[in-house]
Structure 1
């Protein structure tokens, strides 16, 4: 996220748009016609429009407000709709453009991966490691392999690239504990299909094994402490840190202590009533909180940013049965958590360690994936 004033702009979406522009220029340099460039990159732009359009419709249903729905993410349903639209466009794509389409997808994925730092605990390491850099390295390798067959595409080559991408995704999700059995089943199915369409050469098998060994060596050579985990004044607290304890008042004047929740998984969400993304995420947060007793959501109102405290209390009243609502009246907690823009959300494990964070609106799918 990029903080612009008190609000967040999603950096990954900005990178997505910039990457589309660079791909358009790059494909022109290597000889694609305007019609071919539009056909290849249009699949991704159509998918983006389908994702955002469906998210707005879903947000409109859940919030009843078009202005708030504009900030909705749509969750897994919007992702599924976008994937379906992309699939339709790819099905109609000229076979000779399959390689360019696959490469463009990897470039977009690379940019968005680097835009959102993500850390995970690897075996034999005491500290969290930069998972986004590992993922980016694997994507670059897959891009180089795709470049070799890009101008002479075949269904087998395309499926092998998709299989490689699925392999990277399964590894990444497995490292963070958010993968599903269906993903592993899909990957195995892709391997079978790819092998049927185009059997890998001995050289390809050797290269794959070499990559695995190289990754193991790199992993073993990394230091136990990752310098990038140190927080800065503009990035907020980081994954792997223990945030400061706090004591704040609820709406009814009773005292809430974060320390009392030690031993539980906790979601701390900083919000303000004037913030449209904050208002847009509240229904999903409440629905999630009401569906589980294993996670406690603490909604911290940044009271110093409110024009009138009554605006905050009246807005949040319908949700107080779902989670803890507390008021940071002097701004000390927001300062301690280095809140630069809203909404900002941290997920803590049973030991009080930050395991996930998000700058910008969250939804139920995000909470489901990061509070297991």
Structure 2
């Protein structure tokens, strides 16, 4: 009888431990998802230096909405998207800010400068030299773009879009 009670107690303790581990694992996964940038949540804040030597900041309220584009000079889709970004910046620069965040940890400075010159980027090119901002924004593929409203709230994040669709989303952000 005593042996059966001990076995029962051991089974109950093991079952309780398994349930606890399962709940703790789900809590960790939920908090990791909450930390990821997503629509209708505050954009994670950061400060980065740019090619022009200035420091730019993201986080909190702003005078204008913001487009944050993560890219690298070696990225084929980034090359395809670059002329569209330039054209849309030229058209909407008085109504929205553009920040091009280069994934500098995986790029070379001479290639970055050449890319920026070739595509005539006039908007700030920020340098994520240690990759921490890319990690903060959970960028796992480039190009990756986030649209942030004047209140610092992410409205959406996406990869490459057709230029007409990108313009439509920029207009919607400006009007909101």
Shift of 1:263: 3.0
In structure 2, the CA distance between the partners of 1:363 and 1:282, relative to structure 1 (3 Å rule), is farther
Aligned residue among 345, 351, 363 for 2:145: 345
Asked if structure 1 preserves the Cα contact closer than 8 Å seen for 2:42 and 2:59, the reply is no
| Alpha-carbon displacement from aligned partner over 1:312-360 (angstroms, at most 9, x marks no partner) | 1110124332x221110111111111111111110011101111110x3
Moved over 4 A (4+): none
The 3-state SS of whatever aligns with 2:33 is: coil
Match of 1:354 in 2: 154
Query: 1:231, 1:262 → 2: CA distance?
Result: 27
Q: CA RMSD in A?
A: 2.4
Match of 2:43 in 1: 243
Aligned residue among 97, 105, 119 for 1:296: 97
Query: 1:231, 1:366 → 2: CA distance?
Result: 30
Match of 1:266 in 2: 66
Shift of 1:264: 1.2
In structure 2, the CA distance between the partners of 1:279 and 1:340, relative to structure 1 (3 Å rule), is same
Shift of 1:258: 2.4
Shift of 1:364: 2.7
| Alpha-carbon displacement from aligned partner over 1:115-166 (angstroms, at most 9, x marks no partner) | xxxxxxxxxxxxxxxxxxxxxxxxxxxxxxxxxxxxxxxxxxxxxxxxxxxx
Bigger relative contact order, structure 1 or 2 (CA pairs below 8 A, ≥6 apart):
2
Match of 1:324 in 2: 124
Instruction: In structure 1, list runs of 5 or more residues that go unmatched.
Output: 1-228
Shift of 1:260: 8.6
Match of 2:86 in 1: 286
Bigger strand fraction: 2
Match of 2:52 in 1: 252
Shift of 1:370: 1.5
The 3-state SS of whatever aligns with 1:278 is: helix
Shift of 1:259: 4.6
Asked if structure 1 preserves the Cα contact closer than 8 Å seen for 2:44 and 2:59, the reply is no
Asked if structure 2 preserves the Cα contact closer than 8 Å seen for 1:231 and 1:237, the reply is no
TM-score computed with the length of structure 1 as normaliser: 0.35
Q: Is residue 366 from structure 1 mapped to residue 158 from structure 2 by the alignment?
A: no
Query: 2:78, 2:32 → 1: CA distance?
Result: 24
Query: 2:32, 2:168 → 1: CA distance?
Result: 24
TM-score computed with the length of structure 2 as normaliser: 0.71
Instruction: In structure 2, list runs of 5 or more residues that go unmatched.
Output: 1-29
| Alpha-carbon displacement from aligned partner over 1:212-231 (angstroms, at most 9, x marks no partner) | xxxxxxxxxxxxxxxxx986
In structure 2, the CA distance between the partners of 1:269 and 1:250, relative to structure 1 (3 Å rule), is same
The 3-state SS of whatever aligns with 1:232 is: helix
Match of 1:275 in 2: 75
Asked if structure 2 preserves the Cα contact closer than 8 Å seen for 1:265 and 1:295, the reply is yes
Asked if structure 1 preserves the Cα contact closer than 8 Å seen for 2:67 and 2:146, the reply is yes
Q: Which structure 2 residues correspond to residues 185-264 of structure 1 after superposition, within 5 A? A: 232=33, 236-259=36-59, 262-264=62-64
Query: 2:54, 2:90 → 1: CA distance?
Result: 22
Bigger helix fraction: 1
